[in-house]
């Protein structure tokens, strides 16, 4: 043996099951064939095979789906089933897990629907790249559905509960019957003339055969060109109509559509409350920072004033000392004298003449004398 890994049988079967489960082409498909080996188990499950003139495939329908079947399958009966391919690792076999079953005739319509679905998909009408986001803060919302229905009551109630400030425009139409597709298209065209942020289209629950209006090709193509995002709410968990695929968003119920179309006002209030709290904390932090900064400035200012006063005090002291040094009394205390005339003005030699009365001031007294002679240099 070489160095390649050795797998167990379980490994191989589990790997094959994973491959089948990842293949989108094998999920939710329609298969036409003749029933053989039919058996209904005690728990309500259907076990049978589907065959044509060249091949056979095993099939199983769980009791939860089988209970909704409108007829009891028989060997030799030609049917169209809707399901997904899956593997059973324990036996190393694959089978189709059936969700719905229709007798041929009814089943033929399903095949035609699948053919139309494939064509529209190839044209790109269902591409995720063309899906638009929903404005959760709409000014106006449009609703296309039947009048006096549970669907419109649910939608209006939940829109008003969640986002009461939006304007709501209702465009009534039949949602089943021969004229339903035309009425839905007409309601859609009218809705396109309104300044809507979002348009809801749908109905409450119903039987699969009642949903044909929402598979109308003309309606689907019109919805693909909508000016505003579309939310489909057909109200059917198992069946997906073509309107579901072309819509920007899909809700399984009218209530779910209202929730997709708006944000809950309680979330807005919570967000505002949180924002106000954050703002208050931010302002408080700014005020605390300013107080701390002002306190720092105050300390700096006080210190600066003290420094200035100290410098001025030193300067005044220097000037006082200088003035003190110039004080005549201080000069006299060092042994000098000051001579003044009768007016008390210092005697100048050029202004003096014999006979003038002068006073010579000492530190501890004064002498009065008369000028006898003036000697000039």
Are 116 and 217 contacting, i.e. CB atoms less than 8 angstroms apart? yes
Give CA–CA dist 340/357, Å, rounded: 9
pTM: 0.51
**Structure-block tokens of residue 132:** 């638009």
Q: Which of 368, 126, 373 is nearest to 240 (CA)?
A: 126
- Calculate the alpha carbon distances from 96 to 32, 57, 79, 129, 348 in Å: 12, 7, 14, 31, 140
CATH architecture of 130-263: 3-Layer(aba) Sandwich (3.40)
Give CA–CA dist 284/278, Å, rounded: 10
Domain 9-122 is found in CATH 3.40.120.10:
no
What contacts 213, CB < 8 A, 6 or more positions away? Answer: 174, 175, 176, 177, 180, 181, 184, 219
Residue 301: count of CB within 10 angstroms of its CB: 11
Print pLDDT tens along the chain (377 aa). 577 888 899 888 898 888 888 888 899 999 989 998 999 999 999 999 999 889 999 999 999 999 988 888 988 888 999 999 999 888 888 999 999 998 876 556 667 888 888 999 999 999 999 999 999 899 999 999 999 888 899 999 999 999 999 999 999 999 988 899 999 999 999 999 999 999 999 887 766 667 889 999 999 999 999 999 999 998 665 567 899 999 999 998 888 899 999 988 877 777 788 888 889 888 888 988 888 888 888 888 888 999 999 999 999 988 888 887 777 677 667 777 888 888 888 888 888 888 888 888 887 888 888 888 888 77
């Amino acid at each position: 043996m070489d160095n390649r890994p050795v797998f167990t049988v379980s490994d191989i079967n589990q790997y094959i099951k994973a491959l089948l489960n990842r293949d989108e082409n094998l999920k939710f498909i329609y298969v036409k064939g003749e029933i053989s080996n039919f058996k209904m188990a005690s728990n309500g499950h259907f076990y049978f095979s589907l065959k044509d003139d060249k091949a056979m495939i095993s099939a199983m329908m769980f009791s939860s789906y089988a209970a909704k079947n409108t007829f009891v399958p028989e060997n030799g009966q030609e049917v169209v089933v809707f399901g997904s391919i899956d593997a059973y690792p324990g036996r190393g076999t694959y089978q189709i897990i059936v969700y719905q079953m229709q007798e041929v005739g009814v089943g033929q319509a399903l095949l035609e629907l699948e053919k139309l679905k494939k064509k529209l998909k190839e044209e790109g009408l269902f591409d995720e790249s063309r899906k638009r986001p929903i404005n959760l803060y709409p000014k106006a919302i449009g609703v296309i559905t039947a009048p006096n229905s549970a669907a419109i009551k649910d939608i209006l109630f939940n829109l008003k509960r969640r986002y009461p400030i939006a304007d709501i425009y209702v465009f009534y139409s039949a949602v089943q019957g021969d004229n339903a597709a035309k009425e839905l298209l007409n309601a859609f065209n009218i809705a396109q003339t309104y300044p809507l942020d979002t348009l809801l289209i749908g109905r409450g629950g119903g039987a699969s055969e009642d949903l044909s209006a929402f598979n109308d090709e003309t309606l689907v193509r019109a919805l693909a060109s909508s000016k505003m995002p579309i939310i489909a709410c057909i109200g059917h968990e198992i069946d997906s109509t073509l309107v579901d695929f072309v819509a920007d968003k899909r809700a399984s119920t009218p209530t779910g559509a209202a929730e997709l179309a708006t944000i809950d006002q309680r979330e807005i209030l919570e967000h505002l409350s949180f924002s106000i709290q954050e703002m208050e904390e931010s302002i408080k932090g700014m005020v605390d920072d300013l107080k701390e900064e002002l306190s720092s400035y105050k300390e700096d200012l006080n210190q600066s004033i003290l420094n200035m006063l100290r410098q001025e005090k030193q300067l005044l002291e220097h000037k006082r000392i200088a003035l003190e040094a110039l004080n005549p009394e201080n000069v006299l205390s060092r042994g000098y004298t000051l001579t003044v005339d009768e007016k008390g003005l210092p005697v100048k030699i050029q202004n003096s003449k014999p006979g003038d009365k002068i006073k010579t001031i000492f530190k501890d007294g004064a002498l009065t004398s008369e000028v006898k002679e003036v000697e000039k240099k």
